[in-house]
Amino acid sequence: MNKQIELQDLGHKDYQETWDYQEQLFKGIVDAKIKNRRDDTDDNTSNYFLFVEHPHVYTLGKSGDLSNLLLNERQLTEKGATFYKINRGGDITYHGPGQIVGYPILDLENFFTDIHKYLRFLEEMIILTLAEYGLKAERSPGETGVWLDVGTPFARKICAMGVRASRWVTMHGFALNVNADLGYFDHIIPCGIRGKAVTSLHVELGKATVNEADVKGKLLKHFTNLFNAEFVKS
């Protein structure tokens, strides 16, 4: 089992280009697994972890409801945003500047074959990272992602998640609001959940900005421990 993960920070990158790149890496791992089974070999399969920041974009998961997007095409253009229907789970979400997006593209057979556990570990990585900033983040029953003040009228989401998996290979991932412009969430019903707010780390800490490199370092530390993995830079 290969527990090494190639880390790539793509910087500021278009959503479609990044999605195409994810699909390329995903297909490479799946093809390697098919070849292993066909040839009765046991060659190592690769794992990747992509960090990226997208321009303003709304994405709708395969089980999502288009009515949760509250903008028409003209309004999207006016906001400088794009929209995509995509092949992950979950409903609608927003990505944009000031948000750390992470796409682990893993062969889970290198770690464990349990999608539920995979999602819970991603949530735990976020929870442990936010704890380092003095925030008590939690899971909300029946609602994937990471929240603050769960079970109160002030519940608010700070990290959205949506993944796809096939042959135990994952893609898509998480979006953590660090220095995000929360106004863009006003144009959707985030994750299809009405009546709950969205927040960002800089708002919670009362700061103009939070150092995103520091946040990434903390995320990787907790991911490494949870998955018993080792990161290597490309």
**Active-site annotation holder among 69, 108, 158, 191:** 191
Residues 6+ apart with CB under 8 A from 133: 201, 204, 205, 210
Please give the structure tokens belonging to residue 190: 């985030």
88 labelled ligand-binding = yes
pLDDT of residue 174: 97
Instruction: Report the amino acid identity of residue 148.
Output: L
pTM of the model: 0.94
Percent residues over pLDDT 70 in the chain:
97
CA angle 61, 129, 64 (to 5 degrees): 10
Of the ranges 134-138, 181-185, 189-193, which is most confident?
134-138
The response to whether 96 counts as a known ligand-binding position is no
Q: How confident is the model at residue 190 (pLDDT cuts 50, 70, 90)?
A: low
The helix/strand/coil state of 184 is helix
Instruction: Please determine, for residue 135, whether its predicted confidence score (pLDDT) is greater than 90.
Output: yes
In this predicted structure, what is the pLDDT of residue 65? 87
The span from the CA of 208 to the CA of 137, in Å, is: 21
Mean pLDDT of the chain: 94
83 assigned to a ligand binding site:
no
Percent of the chain that is helix, strand, coil (3-state, to 5): 35, 30, 35
- Give the span between the Cα atoms of 108 and 106, in whole angstroms: 6
CB-based burial label for 22 (10 Å; 0-12, 13-18, 19+): buried
Query: What is residue 225's DSSP assignment?
Result: H
Domains of the chain by start residue, with CATH: 4-233 (3.30.930.10)
Burial 198-232 (b: 16+ CB within 10 A, else e): bbbbbbbeeeeebebeebbebbbebbeebbebeee
Residue 191 is a catalytic residue? yes
Give the mean pLDDT of 166-190.
93
Which whole-number Å values give the CA distances from 92 to 51, 88, 154, 197, in the listed order? 20, 10, 21, 14
Consult the annotation and say whether 162 binds a ligand.
yes
* Dist CA 105 CA 166 (whole Å): 11
Q: What percent of the chain has pLDDT over 90?
A: 82
